[in-house]
Structure 1
Amino acid sequence: MSAPEQTREDARAIWQAGVDAVGGYNAVTRALNEGPAERPDQIVAVGKAAAAMTRAALDHFGPLPALVVTKDGHGEGLPTDVTLIESAHPVPDERSLDAGRALRECVAGMTADSHLLLLVSGGASALAEDLTEGNTLDDLAALNRSLLASGKDITEMNVERRKISRIKGGGLLSAFAGATAQVLAISDVPGDDIAVIGSGIGALPPTPNFAATTRIVASNTHARDAALAEAERRGYRILTTGEELHGDLEALASDWGPRLCGMEKGAIILGGEPTVRLPDNPGQGGRNQALALALSRHIKGRDDITLIVGGTDGNDGPTDAAGGIVDGSTWTDSAQDALNRADSGSYLADNNALLTTGPTGTNVMDLLIALRC
């Protein structure tokens, strides 16, 4: 195997090690084994990792009533007696409203002595909603489309989403009349704040009338730590690691492009979630594909650097790809036009540079792996 081929294989393996370490099944299993974990009367799970998290809880406790709300195609592997609702992401649809009502009715219908296990992961903001009076699905969809194109970060977006929601920002658990609630969350937001994850669908109300615990069971930090360990195992010296991928995509590319071009032999491992402003009528792709392509400009012609930028959930924006895997051969004369049209996905597909994984069972923002051999 040539050096570039080996570096490409190493980059993908290191990225995957980070993702595997924060898988919903493994994260919930670890948390429940560490205890204490009272057997719940009801499991409620919402988010892209909801199915994997629920499978872990069922394997730990045995059969239990469970309601799972997740993205289309992300509900595989659940027992047939689990109530599964698959809905839309990143722009909600009518099923998202059905899912939101089902969540609220399930939680509100529990008895006074009951125990709830609530499993939360990224994607919940679009997957489930119960709107405040006077707001419609069209209002919700328009808000989400506007936010996705706005360049706002996830914290700013979720503030806006909570304003028209009955179940976000502590609203869901405000309907809970039971005795105890345990919330286990996989964080896809900076700072790992339960009030921000899924727009606060797992947050406690201001004055809960029940005993409650909340815990973050997986985060971008955990993913980066695992990727770092795999990079070292494969013989790479760690040059830089941190949660540095926040902010405007173009600014990140301008900052990190020259640094990647000038990197020494070794590995750079970064996490975060870039923001992007979209033109009218954007093409195919998402922020990870766009960032990977923009960075490839700076390593054009190099045969010793390979770069992956990918969403840990396996989806980059409204696409089935996780991101891009690029090297010195990726950038050509037509690349800038693709970026301008927000069509990086089409360009990367044509140049054998898409990173495609399928659903990963987790969601802890994005990972960048850069290797120089």
Structure 2
Amino acid sequence: MDQKQRAIRIWQAGVDAVGGHAATTAVLDSIAAPDQILAVGKPAAAMARAALEHFGPKPTLVVTKDDHGRDLPDHVTIIEAAHPVPNSRSLDGGRALREAVEAMGPASHLLLLVSGGASSLAEDLVPGKTLADLEQLNQKLLSEGLDITAMNAERRKLSRIKGGGLLSHFRGDAVTVLAISDVPGDDLNVIGSGIGALPDAPKFQASTQIVASNAIARAAAVDAAKLEGCDVIADEECLHDDYLSVARHLGSRLRDMPKGVMVFGGEPTVVLPKNPGRGGRNQALALALAKEVSGIPGLTIVVGGTDGTDGPAQAAGAVIDGSTWNPTAEEFLNNADSGSYLDQVGALLVTGPTGTNVMDLLVAIRT
């Protein structure tokens, strides 16, 4: 059996377990029919589709990433915007979300579906701030290697709809928030910079629920590994550090790894040079790990973003082994151009949009 395909299969099982459609569908029986559905984030279309299939046609607005607004009924309003750096359509999306909330009547029920990516995809700026200010802030945050919690705290300072701001405009009776978490700790105040967070002292009934997370994805990958007949050696959320530090920490463990599978989750960070090349944090981590395990036989590692994209790149990440690294890769790694090298050696992991977003997932298999 091809070990690369087995590793990808285990990784994919983790991703499939937290798909936006399935994760949302699983909780809808306990929710009253809403008057309005708003969905924002990378998996927004999958989450909205689940709600519409369950409740029937409802006024629905979906704000999502470019080319992610798929397979929705014609009556749904779809706004696609840029990620990870917002554009003018991000302002259109944020304004549309606020206006939809403001327009709801006093006895209304809102179903708000929130997921990662909303920080960039939807924004309604505080007075005096412009799109140029927003773009500059996001470029700065992405280049400095901050973790998602610190980044989103800075984003909230410019926003009218983050950190509880969106729901502060709600004058109805009840709000149900379902969220797919792409942050450590699954904190609704951090997911999408708090676009689904409750305002202080809300004057409406509120119910919030995390429907998918990295822990759920890892558990499913572990189950898949066991079904493949593999011993599971590790299941940890430990990727929250600079990607080089993560690679050094995991490198020794992977080199000494016995036969079996390790599953790791989280979200490494990257400090970018002035003119970065191609590839996101997963491709950077994959290439750094390739250096750490160079020459090690029988070891295959899949590193990928569960949303199917890795920063601005089309690949989700990469699949590497002991033969991936060679000395020419050093320059690519140093220039934040890991994607170019990994593409040259046929190591990219390409899935397309997955309909979810629960940070990143790493699966290592040793035979």
Q: What is the 5 A alignment of 1:22-171?
A: 22-33=18-29, 35=30, 37-171=31-165
Find 2:4's aligned residue among 1, 8, 15: 8
Preserved CA contact (<8 Å) 2:11 2:361: yes
Q: Distance in 2 between matches of 1:32 and 1:226?
A: 21
Equivalent position amino acid for 1:268 in 2: M
Q: Give the secondary structure class of the aligned counterpart of 2:153.
A: helix
What's 2:311 paired with? 317
Residue 354 (1) aligns with residue 348 (2): yes
Give distance in 2, aligned partners of 1:285 and 1:239: 29
Q: Which runs of 5+ in 1 are unaligned?
A: none
State the shift of 1:7 in Å. 1.2
Structure 2: which amino acid aligns with 1:147? L
Partner of 2:360: 366
1:207 offset after TM fit, Å? 1.1
Q: What secondary structure sits across from 1:371 in the alignment?
A: strand
Matched, 1:269 2:269: no
**Unaligned 5+ residue runs, structure 2?**
none
Q: Structure 2: how far apart are the matches of 1:341 and 1:287?
A: 13
Once residues 122 and 156 of structure 1 are traced to their aligned partners in structure 2, the CA distance between those partners, rounded to angstroms, is 15
Q: TM-score, normalised by structure 2?
A: 0.99
Tell me the CA shift for residue 120 of structure 1: 0.2
Give every structure 1 segment of 4 or more consecutive aligned residues whose post-TM-superposition deviation is greater than 4 Å.
Answer: none
Take 1:12 and 1:155, find their aligned partners in 2: how far apart are those partners?
A: 29
Percent same amino acid at aligned positions?
Answer: 63
Q: Secondary structure at the match of 2:287?
A: helix
1:210 aligns with 2:210: no
Instruction: Quote how far apart the aligned CAs of 1:336 are.
Output: 1.1
Cα displacement (A) at 1:298: 2.0
Following the alignment from structure 1 to structure 2, what is the Cα–Cα distance between the partners of residues 342 and 111? 50
State how far apart, in whole Å, the 2-side matches of 1:46 and 1:86 are.
10
Secondary structure of the structure 2 residue equivalent to 1:369: strand
What is the identity, as a one-letter code, of the residue corresponding to 1:110? M
Could you give the per-residue CA deviations for residues 300-334 of structure 1, whole angstroms, max 9, x where no partner exists?
A: 12330000110000010110110010011100111
Q: Corresponding residue for 2:16?
A: 20
- Aligned-pair distance for 1:340? 0.3
Give the Cα separation in 2 of the matches to 1:161 and 1:298.
Answer: 35
Amino acid of the structure 2 residue aligned with 1:287? R
Give distance in 2, aligned partners of 1:116 and 1:333. Answer: 56
SS at match of 1:338: helix
* Amino acid across the alignment from 1:155: T
The structural deviation recorded for 1:217 is: 0.2
Name the aligned partner's letter for residue 13 of structure 1.
Answer: R
